[in-house]
Amino acid sequence: MTIIERFKIVGQYILPKHLLSRLTGRFAAARAGWFTQVAIRAFIRNFSVDMSEAASPDPKSYKTFNDFFTRPLKEGARPLLAEGNQLAHPVDGTVSQAGPIHAGTIVQAKNHDYSVAALLGGDQALAAEFDGGEFATIYLAPRDYHRIHMPCDGVLREMIYIPGDLFSVNPLTAQHVPNLFARNERVVAVFDTEQGPFTIVLVGATIVASIETVWAGTVTPPRGPGIHRWSYPKEGVNAVTLKRGEEMGRFKLGSTIVMTFPKDTVKWENDLVPGQTTRMGTVLGQWDS
Protein backbone atom coordinates (compact mmCIF):
# COMPACT_ATOMS: atom_id res chain seq x y z
CA MET A 1 0.00 0.00 0.00
CA THR A 2 1.39 3.40 -0.99
CA ILE A 3 1.65 6.34 1.41
CA ILE A 4 -1.26 8.06 -0.35
CA GLU A 5 -3.41 4.93 -0.10
CA ARG A 6 -2.52 4.54 3.57
CA PHE A 7 -3.48 8.17 4.16
CA LYS A 8 -6.86 7.55 2.47
CA ILE A 9 -7.57 4.52 4.66
CA VAL A 10 -6.55 6.27 7.89
CA GLY A 11 -8.72 9.19 6.91
CA GLN A 12 -11.69 6.83 6.66
CA TYR A 13 -11.39 6.12 10.39
CA ILE A 14 -10.93 9.77 11.36
CA LEU A 15 -13.60 11.52 9.30
CA PRO A 16 -17.03 12.16 10.90
CA LYS A 17 -18.62 10.00 8.21
CA HIS A 18 -22.24 10.14 9.40
CA LEU A 19 -22.18 13.93 9.75
CA LEU A 20 -20.54 14.34 6.35
CA SER A 21 -23.07 12.01 4.74
CA ARG A 22 -26.07 13.75 6.28
CA LEU A 23 -24.81 17.19 5.22
CA THR A 24 -24.24 15.88 1.71
CA GLY A 25 -27.76 14.47 1.77
CA ARG A 26 -29.23 17.86 2.62
CA PHE A 27 -27.47 19.49 -0.29
CA ALA A 28 -28.39 16.63 -2.66
CA ALA A 29 -32.09 17.06 -1.80
CA ALA A 30 -32.03 20.87 -2.01
CA ARG A 31 -33.31 22.93 -4.93
CA ALA A 32 -30.22 25.10 -5.02
CA GLY A 33 -30.72 26.58 -8.48
CA TRP A 34 -27.52 27.50 -10.30
CA PHE A 35 -25.38 25.82 -7.62
CA THR A 36 -27.16 22.50 -8.19
CA GLN A 37 -26.58 22.88 -11.92
CA VAL A 38 -22.87 23.57 -11.41
CA ALA A 39 -22.56 20.49 -9.18
CA ILE A 40 -24.40 18.26 -11.69
CA ARG A 41 -22.30 19.40 -14.64
CA ALA A 42 -19.07 19.01 -12.66
CA PHE A 43 -20.11 15.49 -11.65
CA ILE A 44 -20.94 14.54 -15.24
CA ARG A 45 -17.57 15.84 -16.42
CA ASN A 46 -15.43 14.39 -13.62
CA PHE A 47 -16.99 10.91 -13.69
CA SER A 48 -17.68 10.69 -17.45
CA VAL A 49 -21.40 10.04 -16.98
CA ASP A 50 -23.11 8.93 -20.19
CA MET A 51 -26.17 11.17 -20.28
CA SER A 52 -27.25 9.85 -23.69
CA GLU A 53 -28.76 6.85 -21.86
CA ALA A 54 -30.87 8.98 -19.52
CA ALA A 55 -34.59 9.45 -20.10
CA SER A 56 -33.86 13.16 -19.77
CA PRO A 57 -30.30 13.82 -21.03
CA ASP A 58 -30.41 17.58 -20.37
CA PRO A 59 -28.77 18.40 -16.98
CA LYS A 60 -31.04 21.44 -16.68
CA SER A 61 -34.06 19.16 -16.31
CA TYR A 62 -32.95 18.02 -12.84
CA LYS A 63 -33.98 20.35 -10.02
CA THR A 64 -31.97 18.55 -7.32
CA PHE A 65 -28.78 16.52 -7.34
CA ASN A 66 -30.77 13.51 -6.10
CA ASP A 67 -33.07 13.77 -9.13
CA PHE A 68 -30.02 13.63 -11.37
CA PHE A 69 -28.26 10.86 -9.47
CA THR A 70 -31.28 8.55 -9.45
CA ARG A 71 -32.23 9.46 -13.04
CA PRO A 72 -34.24 6.84 -14.93
CA LEU A 73 -32.88 5.51 -18.21
CA LYS A 74 -34.60 5.89 -21.54
CA GLU A 75 -36.87 3.12 -22.76
CA GLY A 76 -34.82 0.22 -24.11
CA ALA A 77 -31.50 1.36 -22.64
CA ARG A 78 -31.33 -1.79 -20.48
CA PRO A 79 -33.30 -4.54 -22.21
CA LEU A 80 -34.08 -7.56 -20.06
CA LEU A 81 -31.99 -10.25 -21.73
CA ALA A 82 -32.38 -12.93 -19.02
CA GLU A 83 -35.19 -15.35 -19.77
CA GLY A 84 -36.49 -18.75 -18.75
CA ASN A 85 -34.59 -20.03 -15.69
CA GLN A 86 -31.92 -17.32 -15.96
CA LEU A 87 -31.20 -14.62 -13.39
CA ALA A 88 -30.66 -11.01 -14.46
CA HIS A 89 -27.95 -8.65 -13.30
CA PRO A 90 -29.72 -6.30 -10.86
CA VAL A 91 -27.42 -3.29 -11.32
CA ASP A 92 -24.86 -1.52 -13.45
CA GLY A 93 -21.54 -1.83 -11.67
CA THR A 94 -18.35 -3.82 -11.27
CA VAL A 95 -18.02 -7.26 -9.69
CA SER A 96 -16.10 -7.00 -6.43
CA GLN A 97 -16.22 -10.70 -5.51
CA ALA A 98 -18.43 -13.69 -6.30
CA GLY A 99 -18.40 -17.37 -5.49
CA PRO A 100 -19.31 -19.98 -2.88
CA ILE A 101 -20.12 -19.27 0.75
CA HIS A 102 -17.57 -21.32 2.70
CA ALA A 103 -18.33 -22.19 6.35
CA GLY A 104 -20.77 -19.32 6.61
CA THR A 105 -18.28 -16.72 5.34
CA ILE A 106 -18.04 -14.46 2.30
CA VAL A 107 -14.87 -13.24 0.61
CA GLN A 108 -14.54 -9.46 0.83
CA ALA A 109 -11.06 -9.19 -0.71
CA LYS A 110 -7.73 -10.99 -0.50
CA ASN A 111 -7.10 -11.95 3.15
CA HIS A 112 -10.46 -10.50 4.24
CA ASP A 113 -13.58 -12.60 4.89
CA TYR A 114 -16.73 -11.83 6.87
CA SER A 115 -19.67 -13.89 8.07
CA VAL A 116 -23.07 -14.07 6.45
CA ALA A 117 -24.62 -13.83 9.92
CA ALA A 118 -22.83 -10.53 10.56
CA LEU A 119 -23.95 -9.21 7.16
CA LEU A 120 -27.56 -10.08 8.02
CA GLY A 121 -27.50 -8.36 11.39
CA GLY A 122 -26.54 -11.35 13.55
CA ASP A 123 -29.53 -13.45 12.46
CA GLN A 124 -28.03 -16.96 12.68
CA ALA A 125 -31.22 -18.72 11.55
CA LEU A 126 -31.49 -16.58 8.43
CA ALA A 127 -27.77 -16.96 7.69
CA ALA A 128 -28.08 -20.75 7.97
CA GLU A 129 -30.42 -20.74 4.96
CA PHE A 130 -27.42 -19.76 2.83
CA ASP A 131 -24.80 -22.18 4.22
CA GLY A 132 -22.84 -23.62 1.30
CA GLY A 133 -24.60 -21.31 -1.12
CA GLU A 134 -23.40 -18.58 -3.45
CA PHE A 135 -22.81 -14.85 -3.12
CA ALA A 136 -22.07 -11.93 -5.44
CA THR A 137 -20.88 -8.47 -4.44
CA ILE A 138 -21.21 -5.65 -6.98
CA TYR A 139 -19.82 -2.13 -6.55
CA LEU A 140 -21.68 0.82 -8.03
CA ALA A 141 -19.28 3.60 -9.01
CA PRO A 142 -20.41 7.25 -9.04
CA ARG A 143 -20.90 7.19 -12.82
CA ASP A 144 -23.23 4.17 -12.74
CA TYR A 145 -27.01 3.96 -12.96
CA HIS A 146 -28.12 3.76 -9.32
CA ARG A 147 -31.45 1.97 -9.39
CA ILE A 148 -31.49 -1.67 -8.26
CA HIS A 149 -33.65 -4.25 -10.02
CA MET A 150 -34.79 -7.78 -9.28
CA PRO A 151 -32.59 -10.65 -10.53
CA CYS A 152 -35.65 -12.94 -10.57
CA ASP A 153 -39.28 -13.08 -9.49
CA GLY A 154 -39.67 -12.88 -5.73
CA VAL A 155 -42.06 -12.32 -2.85
CA LEU A 156 -40.71 -10.09 -0.09
CA ARG A 157 -40.48 -11.93 3.23
CA GLU A 158 -38.65 -9.40 5.39
CA MET A 159 -36.76 -6.11 5.35
CA ILE A 160 -34.06 -5.44 7.96
CA TYR A 161 -32.38 -2.13 8.70
CA ILE A 162 -28.98 -2.57 10.36
CA PRO A 163 -27.16 0.49 11.73
CA GLY A 164 -23.44 0.81 11.25
CA ASP A 165 -20.53 2.86 10.03
CA LEU A 166 -20.27 4.63 6.69
CA PHE A 167 -16.87 3.72 5.30
CA SER A 168 -16.32 4.19 1.60
CA VAL A 169 -16.95 0.95 -0.30
CA ASN A 170 -14.54 1.51 -3.18
CA PRO A 171 -12.05 -1.26 -4.08
CA LEU A 172 -9.21 0.28 -2.04
CA THR A 173 -11.30 0.34 1.14
CA ALA A 174 -12.62 -3.17 0.51
CA GLN A 175 -9.03 -4.42 0.40
CA HIS A 176 -7.96 -2.79 3.66
CA VAL A 177 -10.95 -2.31 6.03
CA PRO A 178 -11.93 -5.62 7.71
CA ASN A 179 -15.62 -6.66 7.69
CA LEU A 180 -16.46 -3.62 5.57
CA PHE A 181 -19.85 -4.74 4.26
CA ALA A 182 -20.85 -6.21 7.63
CA ARG A 183 -19.94 -3.05 9.56
CA ASN A 184 -21.50 -0.37 7.35
CA GLU A 185 -25.11 0.73 7.63
CA ARG A 186 -27.27 -1.45 5.38
CA VAL A 187 -30.74 -2.61 4.39
CA VAL A 188 -31.40 -6.33 3.88
CA ALA A 189 -34.27 -7.47 1.64
CA VAL A 190 -35.18 -11.17 1.99
CA PHE A 191 -37.20 -12.65 -0.86
CA ASP A 192 -38.78 -16.07 -1.37
CA THR A 193 -38.96 -17.76 -4.78
CA GLU A 194 -40.07 -21.12 -6.12
CA GLN A 195 -36.41 -22.21 -5.94
CA GLY A 196 -35.77 -20.92 -2.43
CA PRO A 197 -34.90 -17.66 -0.65
CA PHE A 198 -32.36 -15.03 -1.60
CA THR A 199 -31.22 -11.71 -0.18
CA ILE A 200 -30.20 -8.41 -1.67
CA VAL A 201 -28.24 -6.30 0.82
CA LEU A 202 -28.00 -2.57 0.05
CA VAL A 203 -24.84 -1.35 1.75
CA GLY A 204 -24.48 2.30 2.76
CA ALA A 205 -21.24 4.25 2.40
CA THR A 206 -19.62 7.64 2.92
CA ILE A 207 -21.87 10.40 1.50
CA VAL A 208 -24.57 7.89 0.52
CA ALA A 209 -27.38 10.23 1.45
CA SER A 210 -30.21 7.70 1.37
CA ILE A 211 -31.21 4.08 0.77
CA GLU A 212 -34.72 3.55 -0.57
CA THR A 213 -36.93 0.61 -1.52
CA VAL A 214 -39.96 0.75 -3.80
CA TRP A 215 -42.28 -0.64 -1.11
CA ALA A 216 -41.11 1.44 1.87
CA GLY A 217 -39.63 4.60 0.38
CA THR A 218 -36.71 6.08 2.32
CA VAL A 219 -35.41 3.56 4.85
CA THR A 220 -32.41 5.58 5.97
CA PRO A 221 -31.71 8.26 7.07
CA PRO A 222 -32.74 8.62 9.80
CA ARG A 223 -33.25 5.32 11.56
CA GLY A 224 -31.30 5.23 14.83
CA PRO A 225 -28.93 2.89 16.64
CA GLY A 226 -31.03 -0.29 16.77
CA ILE A 227 -31.87 -3.00 14.24
CA HIS A 228 -35.36 -2.65 12.77
CA ARG A 229 -37.30 -5.47 11.10
CA TRP A 230 -40.41 -5.48 8.96
CA SER A 231 -42.21 -8.73 8.00
CA TYR A 232 -44.47 -9.03 4.95
CA PRO A 233 -47.27 -11.49 4.13
CA LYS A 234 -46.96 -13.97 1.27
CA GLU A 235 -50.38 -13.08 -0.08
CA GLY A 236 -53.00 -10.38 0.14
CA VAL A 237 -53.09 -6.63 -0.40
CA ASN A 238 -49.97 -6.03 1.71
CA ALA A 239 -47.83 -8.63 -0.06
CA VAL A 240 -44.91 -7.30 -2.11
CA THR A 241 -44.38 -9.34 -5.27
CA LEU A 242 -41.80 -8.19 -7.81
CA LYS A 243 -40.91 -9.62 -11.20
CA ARG A 244 -37.47 -10.14 -12.71
CA GLY A 245 -36.18 -6.80 -13.96
CA GLU A 246 -38.52 -4.65 -11.88
CA GLU A 247 -36.99 -1.91 -9.75
CA MET A 248 -36.67 -2.80 -6.05
CA GLY A 249 -34.60 0.09 -4.64
CA ARG A 250 -32.09 2.84 -5.21
CA PHE A 251 -29.07 4.58 -3.76
CA LYS A 252 -28.78 8.34 -3.55
CA LEU A 253 -25.02 8.43 -4.18
CA GLY A 254 -23.01 5.29 -4.84
CA SER A 255 -22.54 2.10 -2.92
CA THR A 256 -22.55 -1.73 -3.12
CA ILE A 257 -25.01 -4.61 -3.16
CA VAL A 258 -24.40 -8.13 -1.83
CA MET A 259 -26.60 -11.03 -2.94
CA THR A 260 -26.80 -14.43 -1.24
CA PHE A 261 -28.45 -17.62 -2.51
CA PRO A 262 -28.85 -21.08 -0.87
CA LYS A 263 -26.80 -24.18 -1.62
CA ASP A 264 -27.36 -25.91 -4.97
CA THR A 265 -29.76 -23.30 -6.33
CA VAL A 266 -27.79 -21.02 -8.68
CA LYS A 267 -24.88 -21.25 -11.08
CA TRP A 268 -23.14 -18.00 -12.01
CA GLU A 269 -22.06 -17.11 -15.53
CA ASN A 270 -18.37 -17.79 -16.19
CA ASP A 271 -17.60 -14.07 -16.56
CA LEU A 272 -18.78 -13.23 -13.03
CA VAL A 273 -15.27 -12.49 -11.77
CA PRO A 274 -13.71 -9.55 -9.89
CA GLY A 275 -13.36 -6.51 -12.11
CA GLN A 276 -16.04 -7.57 -14.58
CA THR A 277 -18.42 -4.78 -15.65
CA THR A 278 -22.11 -5.59 -15.15
CA ARG A 279 -25.16 -4.20 -16.91
CA MET A 280 -28.65 -4.43 -15.49
CA GLY A 281 -30.78 -6.97 -17.35
CA THR A 282 -27.97 -9.08 -18.79
CA VAL A 283 -27.56 -12.70 -17.68
CA LEU A 284 -26.14 -13.11 -14.17
CA GLY A 285 -26.55 -16.89 -13.94
CA GLN A 286 -29.26 -19.52 -13.87
CA TRP A 287 -31.22 -21.57 -11.42
CA ASP A 288 -29.43 -24.86 -10.85
CA SER A 289 -32.48 -26.87 -9.89
Q: Which residues are catalytic?
A: 92, 149, 255
Please tell me the distance from the alpha carbon of residue 186 to that of residue 119, in angstroms, as a whole number: 9
Please name the amino acid found at residue 147: R
Q: How far is CA 131 from CA 34, 108, 113, 206, in A?
A: 52, 17, 15, 30
Angle at Cα 247 formed by Cα 241 and Cα 253, nearest 5°? 135
Q: Of how many residues is the chain composed? A: 289
Angle at Cα 216 formed by Cα 213 and Cα 30, nearest 5°? 75
- The answer to whether residues 24 and 16 touch, using CB atoms and an 8 Å cutoff, is no
Q: What is the DSSP string of 138-206?
A: EE--TTS--EEE-SS-EEEEEEEEE--B----SHHHHHHSTTHHHHB-EEEEEEEETTEEEEEEEE--T
Helical (H) or strand (E) element with 47: helix 34-47
Beta bridge partners of 268: 285
Helix, strand, coil in percent for the chain, rounding step 5: 25, 35, 45
